[in-house]
Structure 1
Amino acid sequence: MAAMKPCDHTSGRGFQLSITPMTSIVSSGRGMTRREMLKGLGFGLGATVLISGCVVPAPSEDPRLPPPGTPDLSPFLDGVIAGDPAPDGALIWTRVEPRVPGAEMPILWTVADDAAFTSIRAAGLVTASASEGYAVTVPVSGLDPHSWYFYRFEAADQSGTQVVSRSGRLRTAPAAGSSPDRLRFAFASCQQINDSWFNAHSAAAAEPDLDFFMHLGDYVYASDTNTLTREDYRQTYQRWRKQPLLRDLHAALPMVAMWDDGEFYNGISKSGPPERLTAAKQAWFEAFAVLDPGGLQAYRRFGWGDLVDLSMIDVRAYRDDPLENIVYTDSGGAYDPSRTTLGAEQYAWFTQGLAASQATWRIVGNPYNISPWKLVNLEFLRAFRPDLPPNAGIYAPNEAWDDYLQERRDLLQFILEAGVTDTIFTSGHTHTALVSELRVDYDRPSTPVAAFDFCTGSLTADPDPRKSFLGDLPEDAATEVLRAAERFVLNSNAPALRHMNLIDQGYTVVDITPEETLVTIRNIDTTNPDAEAVDGARFRVRKGAQRIEVLPTPTHKGSFA
């Protein structure tokens, strides 16, 4: 027998079988029974097996399942996640608590047609190690397109007993070239741990018929001064994963994720400390069902048959520093053509993908708003300042696409000139709902609309602005002051900005068919654990349209133009 390596092992007698990690089997057509699956992986008789030098309990034909109401037992305290659906499979993720710190820990993974796991379609072995924070991301392939599956993991707990994780749901995408009749997903961002509840997460998990959940970043809020190393960032994710409603959301819906600045530190750009940036990226890839193709690159693209091409863009890691000056009345600054939020390589990848897309719709997962956000429109000064640059104004100190105004103009101009139509950005970061029609020159209503931007509010509450800034006023009066501020900003950004909500939290649901895209902003009172989500605003974009339609909403919130 080969010499034992440090591993998470149990003592015990029995037949020992050497199995190579990442060994996997796939059953096409009829699913396997658990006995057939174990036999296919090479497990034989005996109380223990030797997996890559580690003696571990042999998987049982009748595994111990989590008791009802306690779905995340040790060693699976961070739950489970599926992500990045492909036509023949997806990625599945978990993290385990090691029995022996520093030791490797074998994990069995299983994918089945049914929640009882009586029809197993794929299974395999993977080893969790300290070098990756005991997190594993498993590529699962060989599944049927456009289908739902269940998945789970098994590993030894602190007593050496083999434990089964809770099960999660996995989704495969429609086959390339197929014509699905719809895609329905939710997107959100910004989840702080504070006095508010994670009830928006449970509401999203209960939404009917969602294909996946898109998280656009600020999933965690790293400390600007104290989160520095890879281990610091790992512990930050582990802190967030203690939220049971967050883990429930992950188990219920596949996740398509992208980072924002909360996963790094405030104001992150490409000029940040290299070691810290690398540590944050490594910890992020460890924490999600996302594979690094090389170079810690998070931007990527998916297809949903011929209905949707989805691009997830990274607006943080390759960008120039944000601007401190928010008054745009002179050339330079945001108008500098060399300034970028995407970086040259990603910009080329993104624009080439848009131009090559043959899908009916193009969806862009965009961590911060691409829509303009002026606080005050200064275009009236043009009569006195003929040299005023386009779109002059005082902008929100939001460090988003407004800081890269010329790159945004170039991108939208490219979309128009390349004949790219029916493009929708789904955005986050602002903690404020913003809905906009995107023009190259957004102060000129006669110019064509190149794309649309729907920016969602936050999943959890900030300090209530009515109390923080208007605490001397009754709540109804403070609410009306903020609604008046929304209407002022809508006017400053006319005709681009169609909706704004400074107050309410929640997430956004997108329904896409070949004929139209429906967008519903779902709001919920995150200070009330018993609150239910309501439709705060509803919109429609018809295929080929140049305008967003505002749909009637009895429970509407925010302001509209």
Structure 2
Amino acid sequence: MLKASAAGIALGASTSVLPKVANGTAAASPLARTSGTSTATALGSAPQGPTSPYSTNVFVHGVTSGDPLPNAVILWTRITQKPTWTPGSLRGTPVRVKWEVCPQVGRSRRFGSAVRSGVVTTTKDRDFTVKVDATGLQPNTRYLYRFTVLDGPAAGAVSPVGATKTAPALNSMPNRVRFAFLSCSNWEAGYYSTYRFLADRGDLDFVVHLGDWFYEYKTGEYTGVYGRVRKHEYPGETMTLEQYRRRHAHTKTDPDLQRCQAMYPFITVWDDHESADNAYLEGAVNHDPEHEGNWHTRKRASEKAYFEYMPTRVNTLTDGQHLYRYFRWGKLMDLSALDLRSHRSKQSWWLQDNPKQSIGGEKQMQWLRDNIKNSPCLWKVIGNPVMMAALHIPPLSPEIANYIAQKTGNPPHGIIFNSDQWDGYQWDRYRLTSMIAKYNIKNVVAVTGDIHMSYANDIYEKFDGNMKGRRVAVEFVGPSISAANVDDIVFDEVGLKLPEDDPLFTTVSDAISFANQHVRWNQCSKHGYVVVEFNKNFAQADWFFVNDKSNPRTGQHWGSSWATKEGVSALYPVKKPLKF
């Protein structure tokens, strides 16, 4: 995470640790998995006809889908039975909810005959969220889905209709896959206009959020030069299950986010702020055990709320549940979505090249290397929450460089910007890049969030002072949606506000590229998102930036585009974005 203090599941496999659903009906559970239709009796209890008057207030958190497989997708919503039965309050009674899926005709949202349906029960134990693993679907198919409340004070309420899409069959070769990736959405620091622009496009297969879905801070604590643009519903720092639930629920009331989530399936991973800043296995920088209690209690609370509120499929290996998981888009592309918080060693400036220092834990790192080495796909994509490429501070005087080197353990020729990134875990990075080089693996691409700035990077086998190593991959790094970046933080400290296009930021970007020859392009002052396409010939990333994150109706503009050819691990600039 960027702050002022810092200068699988195989696709299609059924290994979820979830109960199977008998006859399409399930009791309350973390996630109901079903491929059947409900009995006539169960479905017949749902009132038919127009949406009830309750619906606007009942489905205040919208609908969404996620984790698309060739034959399945996660469906999600939350039931607010009465306005006073608010998220995290534990107020409410168990309620049965019917879900339905039908094929989408063109781009119409008119709901047709259901091909899959079922009934689930949700309770206060999961904060009245509803999460269904709808299976038995057809590959590469667009579907509509909706929910209906069957009993209780909101009986008859019908949700908005959501749209989703399944992945292609594993043995197919699609012409292309196109998705957006984004990260770092701070409610108080700005509006989520990026989601509106993604929904307006209508050309994406899915959306990837790489973490920092929200920020745990108390109101006003981390906003930047724009100040507090809007206020959290819960004003304090999130530390308990109730508080994390409230922050998740409030985030999902954003209208632009709701529209985007109802249009595309999402693949999400967490970074640190879903729990606490700079989290690692045994703690977090923003957690004080003396005053805030046991770290693992807090982390478990954040994890439970996350799995309740996000459209993710819980996976398991021999070590229990985990968030990192594996997706495929036919034979064209696979995506290894990483969890770089739950298993990492504590950040350290002094141990950055220590073999025992791990960013993801040995099991996950071996899983990632195996995915890339054994991939049956043309493109091997890493969903990477923190920056992989080295990022060294621009040259300083020898005296200052040597002083910092003595204090931090950094080599004078390359003082790293942030030990929270892969730079702080260089052995893990080298084991990955050297394996790619050893086996001559082609077409490895990392899509990255966290740093609140935009980068197009070549990835070398080894980052050293001379950069003589072999290029083995490329990396596209997206800006934050709204969280403060360098200009927000630095100029907030000195009380100065400059336009995002001020020449000073170009100077900063030039200095970064000069000190890091593998950085082909960077932009340090804008907010937005990235759209990337992978096809049989090339992969291209387009950066788009919002004009003003403090304006809910702001416009956007294209920033830059970079691409890599199939079989070549090197980036080149592109003069215009992809057509849509």
When normalised by structure 1's length, the TM-score is: 0.83
Alpha-carbon distance change, 19 to 118 in structure 1, aligned in 2, over 3 angstroms: closer
The residue number in structure 2 matching 1:203 is 197
The residue number in structure 1 matching 2:345 is 320
The question of 1:139 aligning with 2:133 is answered: yes
Deviation (angstroms), 1:448: 1.5
Match of 1:174 among 168, 171, 177: 168
How many angstroms apart in 1 are the aligned matches of 2:204 and 2:238?
Answer: 34
Match of 1:235 among 224, 228, 246: 246
8 Å Cα contact 1:461-1:527 kept in structure 2: no
8 Å Cα contact 1:24-1:122 kept in structure 2: no
Match of 2:26 among 21, 27, 43: 21
How many angstroms apart in 1 are the aligned matches of 2:68 and 2:43?
Answer: 33
| 3-state SS of 1:139 partner | strand
The question of 1:468 aligning with 2:486 is answered: no
8 Å Cα contact 2:67-2:313 kept in structure 1: no
Deviation (angstroms), 1:63: 4.0
Aligned counterparts, 1:49-448, within 5 A: 58-64=45-51, 73-99=56-82, 101-114=91-104, 115-155=109-149, 159-194=153-188, 196-223=190-217, 226-272=237-283, 273-294=295-316, 295-323=320-348, 325=349, 333-377=351-395, 392-397=413-418, 399-442=420-463, 443-448=465-470
How many angstroms apart in 2 are the aligned matches of 1:75 and 1:301?
Answer: 34
Letter in 1 for 2:379: W
8 Å Cα contact 1:75-1:158 kept in structure 2: no
How many angstroms apart in 2 are the aligned matches of 1:473 and 1:203?
Answer: 26
8 Å Cα contact 1:234-1:283 kept in structure 2: yes
Match of 1:532 among 547, 555, 561: 555
How many angstroms apart in 2 are the aligned matches of 1:193 and 1:472?
Answer: 22
Letter in 2 for 1:183: V
How many angstroms apart in 1 are the aligned matches of 2:24 and 2:498?
Answer: 68
8 Å Cα contact 2:51-2:156 kept in structure 1: yes
Alpha-carbon distance change, 519 to 63 in structure 1, aligned in 2, over 3 angstroms: same
- Provide, for residues 137-159 of structure 1, a one-character-per-residue CA deviation record: whole Å limited to 9, x for no partner: 11111111001000111115874
- Provide, for residues 503-525 of structure 1, a one-character-per-residue CA deviation record: whole Å limited to 9, x for no partner: 11100001110111011011112
- Provide, for residues 518-552 of structure 1, a one-character-per-residue CA deviation record: whole Å limited to 9, x for no partner: 11011112233333322201011100113101112
How many angstroms apart in 1 are the aligned matches of 2:491 and 2:209?
Answer: 28
8 Å Cα contact 1:75-1:156 kept in structure 2: no
How many angstroms apart in 2 are the aligned matches of 1:77 and 1:321?
Answer: 39
Deviation (angstroms), 1:435: 1.5
How many angstroms apart in 1 are the aligned matches of 2:441 and 2:331?
Answer: 15
| 3-state SS of 2:187 partner | coil
Deviation (angstroms), 1:73: 1.8
8 Å Cα contact 1:366-1:425 kept in structure 2: yes
How many angstroms apart in 2 are the aligned matches of 1:44 and 1:428?
Answer: 43
8 Å Cα contact 1:89-1:141 kept in structure 2: yes
Alpha-carbon distance change, 319 to 25 in structure 1, aligned in 2, over 3 angstroms: closer
How many angstroms apart in 1 are the aligned matches of 2:43 and 2:69?
Answer: 33
How many angstroms apart in 1 are the aligned matches of 2:297 and 2:360?
Answer: 21
| 3-state SS of 1:286 partner | helix
How many angstroms apart in 1 are the aligned matches of 2:545 and 2:146?
Answer: 32
How many angstroms apart in 1 are the aligned matches of 2:351 and 2:541?
Answer: 34
8 Å Cα contact 2:177-2:205 kept in structure 1: yes
How many angstroms apart in 1 are the aligned matches of 2:417 and 2:125?
Answer: 42
Gaps of 5+ in 1: 1-17, 28-36, 46-57, 326-331, 555-561
How many angstroms apart in 2 are the aligned matches of 1:424 and 1:305?
Answer: 17
Letter in 2 for 1:411: L
- Provide, for residues 285-323 of structure 1, a one-character-per-residue CA deviation record: whole Å limited to 9, x for no partner: 111111222433000001110000110011111001112
8 Å Cα contact 1:378-1:394 kept in structure 2: no
Deviation (angstroms), 1:472: 5.5
The residue number in structure 2 matching 1:453 is 475
How many angstroms apart in 2 are the aligned matches of 1:44 and 1:454?
Answer: 47
8 Å Cα contact 2:205-2:264 kept in structure 1: yes
The residue number in structure 2 matching 1:11 is none
Gaps of 5+ in 2: 1-22, 86-90, 219-235, 284-294
The residue number in structure 1 matching 2:221 is none
Letter in 2 for 1:93: W
The question of 1:548 aligning with 2:571 is answered: yes
8 Å Cα contact 1:81-1:168 kept in structure 2: yes
| 3-state SS of 2:533 partner | strand
Answer 1 or 2: higher relative contact order, Cα 8 Å, separation at least 6. 2
- Larger CA Rg, structure 1 vs 2: 1
How many angstroms apart in 2 are the aligned matches of 1:124 and 1:432?
Answer: 44
Alpha-carbon distance change, 264 to 461 in structure 1, aligned in 2, over 3 angstroms: closer
Letter in 2 for 1:213: V
Alpha-carbon distance change, 474 to 345 in structure 1, aligned in 2, over 3 angstroms: closer
Letter in 1 for 2:542: T
RMSD (Å) for aligned C-alpha atoms:
3.0
| 3-state SS of 2:514 partner | helix
Alpha-carbon distance change, 469 to 232 in structure 1, aligned in 2, over 3 angstroms: closer
Identity of aligned residues (%): 25
How many angstroms apart in 2 are the aligned matches of 1:162 and 1:150?
Answer: 19
Aligned length: 500
- Provide, for residues 164-195 of structure 1, a one-character-per-residue CA deviation record: whole Å limited to 9, x for no partner: 11111111000011111110000000111125
- Provide, for residues 85-130 of structure 1, a one-character-per-residue CA deviation record: whole Å limited to 9, x for no partner: 1111211111112457252110000001133222211100011111
How many angstroms apart in 2 are the aligned matches of 1:404 and 1:203?
Answer: 35
When normalised by structure 2's length, the TM-score is: 0.80
Deviation (angstroms), 1:253: 1.2
How many angstroms apart in 2 are the aligned matches of 1:207 and 1:336?
Answer: 45
